[in-house]
Amino acid sequence: SRLLGAVRWVLSFIGLDFSLRVFGWLAETKLWLQRLVTRKSSTDRIFSKSELQEILHLVLEVHGFELFFSPYFNGDPHPGNILMMEGDRIGLIDFGQCVALSEQDKRGVAELLLALTDDKADRKAADARIAKAFFDTGIRTKNSDPDFAAALAKLMFCRLTADVLDRQKMHALFTSDKVDYFPMHVMMAYRTSMLLRGLCLVLQENVSTAHAWAPWAEKWLKAHPAIE
């Protein structure tokens, strides 16, 4: 549509980081206006942006723990399923979309997260490791293209970059290969990553789910060494 095209052009022109600041300012303005027009009782609490950012980072960490150390992983942490309770406690509700990960499932996701957060390797070696870990999770693609695998894994779990606004680059990527099979546990982890990153973006936090969850992945791998 023309509107979508205009939005893409504006974002490409002013850049992703500045766009996030603009969206954050609009969100803050909305909250400020709500304070003016909404009558609050003495027991109600309006959280600052920094407090909400801290809360979302905690929710992000909780889901990383849940992914590796809980019997079930909840893949539906949308805003309606996150409650602020009395005493500034956080309530997570509606565990209707859960998945139980096997040890093999957890190992595959853990290795992928560690590959995505390996900042010491050169780019070619890092992408090769990411692609291998991506396919080792059980994902299958039509052409088994390692470049496609590495790029898609970054889109799923890393910070968003300006590349996502490049229509030609994204078109070339998604015409080079396509996913034929997505294991449910990877799909749920990806869904959770997208939902939580989206919440953080509203507060100008462009987070990497991979970096948030990698410490839990490393801890789980140390507790469950692979049997040669």
pLDDT digits (tens, 9 = 90+) for 57-110: 999 999 999 999 999 999 999 888 888 888 888 889 888 899 999 999 999 999
The average pLDDT across 17-24 equals 55
| Residue 126: pLDDT over 70 | yes
Rounded percentage of the chain residues whose pLDDT exceeds 70: 80
Q: Which pLDDT band holds residue 116 (cuts at 50, 70, 90)?
A: very high
Q: Are 26 and 212 in contact (CB under 8 A)?
A: no
The average pLDDT across 114-132 equals 92
Structure-derived torsion over alpha carbons of residues 78, 113, 65, 158, reported in degrees to the nearest 10? -30
Partnered with residue 83 across adjacent β-strands are 91
| Residue 14: pLDDT over 70 | no
Partnered with residue 82 across adjacent β-strands are 92
| Residue 28: pLDDT over 60 | no
pLDDT in tens, 157-206: 999 888 887 889 888 999 999 999 999 999 999 999 999 998 888 888 89
Of the two residues 15 and 103, the one the predictor is more confident about is: 103
3-7, 44-48, 78-82, 116-120: the lowest-pLDDT one: 3-7
The average pLDDT across 109-118 equals 97
Assigned token pair, 152: 């898609």
pLDDT at 38: 46
Of the two residues 121 and 107, the one the predictor is more confident about is: 107
| CB contact burial 105-116 (16+ within 10 A = b; e otherwise) | bbbbbbbbbbbb
| Residue 9: pLDDT over 70 | no
| Residue 228: pLDDT over 80 | no
- CA–CA dist 46, 52 (Å, integer): 10
Amino acid at site 212: A
Of residues 86, 84, 22, the one with CA closest to residue 48: 84
Give Cα separations from 21 to 16, 27, 42 (angstroms).
Answer: 9, 10, 32
| Residue 36: pLDDT over 50 | no
